[in-house]
């Protein structure tokens, strides 16, 4: 086997696709030339092979193990990213249902989910932070808990604005919670029994784009209406064990490498959570030292540990920040194109060393330009 080429060590703070662990990148590079236990490249192996069936088995077992997923939930690996789930969820669980779906409008991504749900059936937006420019989340008392809904949809982490729920929002005990965890999945332990469904695309904590992990409870699957397009009916993916059509084998393989890394090198979700808290604490501490220079609008209680969004006194200074950061080897710091500003993404694979390099730069930049 040819040796894997060296992988770039630039620090990646991009919001997605984002950083991946170096050991994962090296294993992925090796697998292009030949897989451990199979004679072929990962790019050419059949999804009908035993190797692939074993891959799905191990993927599912590892997700179940890391999150202690109860037997009530199926584990699927789908395509179409987080965005397709915005449509599949109301198609499968709202279409023909006798109650409206409840949504929380807490930022750019949860808003997109609402737009898609409206196409399928009645939607009640229980709370919206849109008019204030999405810089805080609802308090417990702001939410409706007396009425039953088809489900309650929310995003646990708003990637664009840098807002994160630090506990699941309250709802009626019989309303299934459906959560978009695309940007904080596997960053901390979660009690999956509190959810009807959790979904998360890869390209942040989980691996490269192309796969979306869905944990769906059986009682929701029993609601799927007949007559949906086959690819959009969750039941077909359950029946075909995530290989209803040709799946993204390479992306799934890299997700498995990331899951093994999380389990074996990090030590699981509690250890990951502690590390993530440390990283975020160091970055917010720099912002809080000079709040007139590094300006963060997010209410402190709702700050995201994954995406730190902030601005500088002028767009020109922000452009200078991004340019100079790159010359220090620090990449991916622009804010989302819809809001501008700056954003530091601290996904699982971002190391404490990377954070140290970034905070050194931030101190230096402020001293020179403030
Ligand atoms: N939900 C969240 C929270 C996201 O951050 C994103 C994309 N960054 C999406 C959904 C959409 O995902 P995709 O691009 O995979 O469709």
* pLDDT, tens digit (0-9, with 9 covering 90-100), for 310-358: 999 999 999 999 999 999 999 999 999 999 999 999 999 999 999 999 9
Query: What is the per-residue DSSP string for 212-276?
Result: EEEEEEHHHHTTPPTTS-GGG-HHHHHHTTT-SS---HHHHHHHHHHHHIIIIII-SHHHHHHHH
**Binding site membership of 82 for ligand 1 (Cβ less than 6 Å):** yes
- Please indicate, yes or no, whether the overall pTM of this predicted structure exceeds 0.95: yes
pLDDT tier, 9 (very low <50, low <70, confident <90, very high otherwise): low
Q: Which of 257, 232, 310 is CA-nearest to residue 13?
A: 310
- Contacting residues for 245 by C-beta, under 8 A, at least 6 apart: 231
CA dihedral 34, 37, 40, 44 (to 10 degrees): -100
Return the ligand 1 atom nearest residue 159 CA: 5
Mean pLDDT of the 272-282 span: 98
User: What was the pLDDT predicted at 212?
Assistant: 98
Mean pLDDT of the 208-228 span: 97
Mean pLDDT of the 294-321 span: 98
Q: pLDDT digits over 175-203, tens only?
A: 999 999 999 999 999 999 999 999 999 98
Active-site residue (options: 11, 51, 105, 109): 109
Q: pLDDT digits over 110-169, tens only?
A: 999 999 999 999 999 999 999 999 999 999 899 988 999 999 999 999 999 999 999 999
Residue 144 structure tokens: 């409706």
Q: pLDDT digits over 65-83, tens only?
A: 999 999 999 999 999 999 9
Q: How much distance in Å is there from the Cα of 201 to the middle of ligand 1?
A: 7
Question: Catalytic: 279?
Answer: no
Return the ligand 1 atom nearest residue 80 CA: 16
Instruction: Flag whether pLDDT at 231 surpasses 90.
Output: yes
Mean pLDDT, the chain, integer: 95
pLDDT tier, 1 (very low <50, low <70, confident <90, very high otherwise): very low
Question: Catalytic: 51?
Answer: no
Mean pLDDT of the 229-233 span: 98
User: What was the pLDDT predicted at 7?
Assistant: 52
CA 52 to CA 56: how far, in whole Å?
6
Peptide bond just before 154 cis, omega within 30 deg: no
CA 362 to CA 321: how far, in whole Å?
9
Instruction: Flag whether pLDDT at 205 surpasses 90.
Output: yes
Active-site residue (options: 11, 184, 204, 233): 204
Instruction: Flag whether pLDDT at 304 surpasses 90.
Output: yes
User: What was the pLDDT predicted at 8?
Assistant: 61
């Amino acid at each position: 086997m040819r040796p894997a080429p060296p992988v770039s060590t630039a620090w990646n703070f991009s919001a997605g696709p984002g950083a991946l662990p170096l050991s994962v990148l090296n294993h992925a590079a090796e697998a292009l030339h030949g897989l451990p236990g199979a004679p072929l490249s990962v790019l050419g192996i059949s999804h009908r092979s035993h190797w692939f069936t074993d891959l799905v088995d191990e993927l599912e077992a590892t997700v179940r193990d890391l999150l202690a997923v109860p037997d009530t939930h199926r584990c699927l690996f789908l395509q179409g990213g987080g965005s397709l789930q915005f449509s599949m969820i109301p198609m499968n669980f709202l279409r023909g249902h006798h109650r409206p779906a409840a949504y929380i409008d807490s930022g750019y991504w949860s808003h997109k989910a609402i737009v898609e749900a409206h196409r399928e059936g009645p939607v009640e937006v229980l709370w919206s932070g849109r008019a204030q420019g999405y810089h805080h989340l609802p308090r417990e008392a702001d939410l409706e808990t007396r009425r039953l809904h088809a489900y309650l949809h929310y995003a646990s982490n708003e990637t664009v604005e840098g807002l994160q729920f630090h506990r699941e929002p309250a709802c009626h005990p019989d309303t299934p919670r459906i959560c978009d965890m695309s940007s904080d999945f596997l960053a901390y332990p979660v009690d999956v029994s509190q959810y009807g469904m959790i979904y998360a695309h890869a390209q942040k904590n989980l691996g490269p784009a192309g796969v979306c992990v869905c944990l769906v409870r059986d009682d929701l699957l029993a609601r799927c209406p007949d007559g949906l397009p086959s690819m959009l009916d969750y039941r077909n993916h359950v029946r075909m064990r995530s290989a209803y059509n040709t799946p993204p084998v390479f992306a799934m393989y890299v997700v498995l490498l990331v899951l093994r890394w999380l389990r074996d090198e990090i030590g699981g979700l509690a250890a990951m959570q502690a590390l993530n808290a440390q990283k975020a604490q160091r970055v917010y501490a720099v912002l809080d030292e000079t709040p007139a220079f590094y300006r963060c609008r997010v209410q402190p209680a709702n700050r995201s540990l994954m995406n730190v969004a902030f601005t500088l006194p002028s767009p020109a200074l922000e452009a200078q920040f991004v340019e100079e950061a790159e010359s220090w080897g620090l990449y991916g710091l622009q804010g989302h194109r819809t809001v501008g500003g700056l954003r530091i993404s601290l996904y699982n694979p971002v190391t404490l060393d990377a954070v140290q390099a970034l905070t050194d730069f931030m101190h230096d930049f402020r001293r020179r330009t403030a």
